[in-house]
Amino acid sequence: MSDIVKKGFFRRCIYRATGAYLLEQHIQQLEQQLEQGIERERKMEACILSLQERTDHMEVHSDAQDAHRNAIDARLRQTDASADQTRIRLEKAEEALREAGLLASELHLFNKKSYSQAGEDAILMYIFVMLGVPLSQCTYLDLGANHPCDMSNTWFFYQQGARGILVDANPKLAEELYEYVIARCREHVQTVEHGSFGADMKVELFNDGPFTLVLNADENGIVS
């Protein structure tokens, strides 16, 4: 065999060996890519299953929320109906008391302004009305009365005709009450003197023998 033939044969052998190696490398790369693709597919399937489970859970949770919302709506409708029934019953009770003469027409039993600090006058008024006690016939002794009107437990009853005594140790409030009494007296008495509240006064009275004090009162008992 000549050298040229040997060289050609040798080259063909090298080309075949190189091609086979490259082909094997390419096959290995394809196998790796296939395995990677299979692994990605498994991960995708796992992700899809997880998403499906989350979707199912969200649907169940949404159904539970809808049921809870419907239950709340039903309870609210029942509460509204109960409130309407209660309001109607209170209005009927107020109207019955007014027809029986136990409630003044301008006095709203269940809807009134309270002057007390925590609605005590409204509670007492409700008790008196339920007992059938006319507010104008009530008398009171308010100890620690504070202001005669603001946050007062008795100012509302005074407006309805009740009368009583206010007692408080605060001299500033006493002076204000003194001015109020003077103003009310002037509404019924022609001449009312006005002094200085709390001033030091020296009064001297000399009386020798009996004397007569004349008081005139009208049919309503108002003294002049």
- Residue 224 resides in a domain: no
Q: How many domains does the chain have?
A: 2
- 82 with 28, same domain? yes
Look at residues 124, 119, 120, 97 and name the one whose alpha carbon lies nearest to residue 108.
97
Q: Quick check: 94 and 110 in contact, CB under 8 A?
A: yes
- 136 with 94, same domain? no
Match 């009208």 to its residue by tokens: 218
pLDDT digits (tens, 9 = 90+) for 51-79: 888 888 888 888 888 888 888 888 888 88
Match 């007062």 to its residue by tokens: 152
Q: How confident is the model at residue 89 (pLDDT cuts 50, 70, 90)?
A: confident
- 94 with 8, same domain? yes
pLDDT digits (tens, 9 = 90+) for 10-24: 556 665 556 666 667
Q: Quick check: 154 and 140 in contact, CB under 8 A?
A: yes
- Residue 131 resides in a domain: yes
Range of the domain at 6: 1-100
- Residue 195 resides in a domain: no
pLDDT digits (tens, 9 = 90+) for 171-211: 777 787 778 888 888 888 888 888 777 777 777 777 777 76
CB neighbour list of residue 104: distance below 8 Å, 6 or more residues apart: 98, 135, 160
- 130 with 170, same domain? yes
- Residue 116 resides in a domain: no
Q: Which amino acid is present at 98?
A: R
- 89 with 32, same domain? yes
- Residue 206 resides in a domain: no
- 139 with 62, same domain? no
Q: Which amino acid is present at 142?
A: D
- 39 with 70, same domain? yes
- Residue 176 resides in a domain: yes
Q: How far apart are CA 121 and CA 139, in angstroms?
A: 14
Token code pair at residue 47? 């992700």
- Residue 61 resides in a domain: yes
- Residue 71 resides in a domain: yes
- 134 with 63, same domain? no
Q: How far apart are CA 172 and CA 149, in angstroms?
A: 14
- 128 with 92, same domain? no
Q: Quick check: 162 and 168 in contact, CB under 8 A?
A: no
Q: Quick check: 178 and 155 in contact, CB under 8 A?
A: no
pTM for this entry: 0.41
Q: How far apart are CA 70 and CA 93, in angstroms?
A: 34
